[in-house]
Amino acid sequence: MAITSKMVQELREKTGVGMMDCKRALEEAGGDMEEAVKILRKKGMATAEKKSARAASEGRVTSYVAPGAKVGALVEINCETDFVANTDDFMELSTALSRQVAENAPAGPEALLDQPYILDGASKVRDAIVGKVAKLGENIQFRRFVRYEGDRVATYIHAGGKIGVLMQLALENGATDVEEAAKDLCMQVAASAPRFVSRQEVTAAVLEGEREIYRSQVLAQGKPESIVDKIVDGKMNKFYEENCLLEQPFIKDTAVRVQDYLKAKTGGKMKVVRFERFVLGEGLKPSASGD
């Protein structure tokens, strides 16, 4: 069967692979378009395996909240360079996978990779990633996700996908200004990086460790034993203020604490259940160039 330029162009549009590779795949497949796609995917798989050894610490943090704002997801997908992270292809993939996590509730990253891809039910998520590796020429890794479901789920993405927040909230009847308050709370978490919702969440082990550190610091300063505990208590209050969301100064009005803002804004009828904050590449080694 003669391979026409129109066929080559169609295959290129489907896969994003170069013209000559598309022509060779069509020739190998005897003009069968679907078979040619499979051939390129197999070649893409080889490319993906070769590139998977390269560090991928760039990428995007992306979120999706379903209509009705009761289900949402936050995901991190990594690649090697900021340039690829800002391409339409990579952004399409990251956006689709955040929606996929929200709608399909996978048990974990590996389970997600084996699900039918939300934009193409004929292929799995891992195949979609392999296709992007072949097209974009970089290692791409789905790193992590969190999914919440509840009365209200809110999200905020900062700095073009460098920081992302997902938050679950509990509502009572009559709660006011819910949407604005939820967004403000997510922005607060993005900017101030609290570790806990409230001081009640801080574990005994963390408290004991912090008190021990502060006590050692105060004694090293030569303070009298009789006032050490009082000074340590003051330092612990500062610890709560820095690390507990509800006790932090509100970023839009630092004279007010978050818990007071929340009470005034929503009539005391909205509570923070939990939150997650992803920072792109956190804990990963920087990408290095090379094949």
Q: Mean pLDDT over residues 133-154, rounded?
A: 95
d(CA 150, CA 152): 5
Q: Under a CB-based contact definition with an 8 Å cutoff, are residues 153 and 168 in contact? A: yes
Helix (H) or strand (E) segment spanning residue 155: strand 152-158
Q: What is the pLDDT of residues 269-285, one digit of tens each?
A: 999 999 999 999 998 77
> Would you place residue 48 in the very low, low, confident or very high pLDDT band (cuts 50, 70, 90)?
low
* Residue pLDDT, tens place only, 165-180: 999 999 999 888 999 9
> Closest Cα to residue 166, out of 258, 102, 110?
102
List C-alpha distances in Å: 93 to 77, 166, 196.
9, 19, 31
Nearest one of 72, 244, 251, 270 to 165, comparing CA atoms:
72
The whole-number pLDDT of residue 78 equals: 96
Is residue 54 over pLDDT 80? no
Say what the alpha-carbon torsion angle 105, 107, 109, 112 is, to the nearest 10 degrees: -50
| Mean pLDDT computed over 239-246 | 97
Share of the chain above pLDDT 70, in %: 92
Compute the average pLDDT of residues 12-20. 76
Beta strand pairing call for 249-250 and 163-171:
unpaired
The per-residue pLDDT for 121 is: 87
Mean pLDDT of the chain: 91
Domain residue ranges in the chain: 5-51, 58-149, 199-270
The pLDDT score that the predictor gives to residue 257 is: 98
Alpha carbon separation from 232 to 20, 207, 215, 240, 241 (Å, rounded): 70, 11, 6, 12, 14
- Section 77-92 average pLDDT: 96
Name the fold adopted by 58-149: Tetrahydropterin Synthase; Chain A (3.30.479)
Mean pLDDT value across residues 189-211: 96
From 3.40.50.970, 3.40.190.10, 1.10.8.10, 2.20.28.90, which CATH number describes the 5-51 domain? 1.10.8.10
**Residue 16 predicted with pLDDT over 90:** no
In percent, the amount of the chain with pLDDT more than 90 equals 76
Nearest to 269 by CA among 141, 165, 182, 143: 182
Q: Degrees (nearest 5) of the Cα angle 246, 249, 250?
A: 85
Angstrom CA distances, 129 to 80, 169, 194, stand at 14, 33, 33
Indicate the DSSP class of residue 193.
-
